[in-house]
Amino acid sequence: MKKYSIVRVGDEYVVQAGQTSILKVSSQQEAAKLVTDAAELLQQQPDPPADADASSARDQQDQV
C-alpha cells in the first residue's frame, strides 16, 4: 500500500502518493477525506491470486 501525505503549497493542499503529487484541493479537510476514502477503497480490493503473477510472467517469456 502506498504512503499518502498532504502537503500545503501556498493556499492549496496537495495529496501525494509516495513522492508523486496526485491531486490539489483547497482545504485540508477535503484532502484528508480523499486520502481516507482512497485507503478504504484499496483495502476493499481483493489481492490478485499468487499463481496469476507467475503465469503472466511465464506468458511474457514465451512471447520473447
State the average pLDDT over residues 5-20: 91
Q: How confident is the model at residue 58 (pLDDT cuts 50, 70, 90)?
A: low
**Within 13 Å, how many C-alpha atoms sit on residue 61's CB side?**
6
Please state, in angstroms and as integers, the Cα–Cα distance from residue 53 to each residue in 3, 45, 50, 61, following that order. 23, 17, 6, 13
The pLDDT of residue 7: 93
Q: Could you give the CA distance from residue 39 to residue 23 in angstroms, rounded to a whole number?
A: 15
**33 vs 1: which has the higher pLDDT:** 33
Name the pTM for this structure. Answer: 0.59
Please, are residues 16 and 5 in contact by the beta-carbon 8 Å criterion? yes
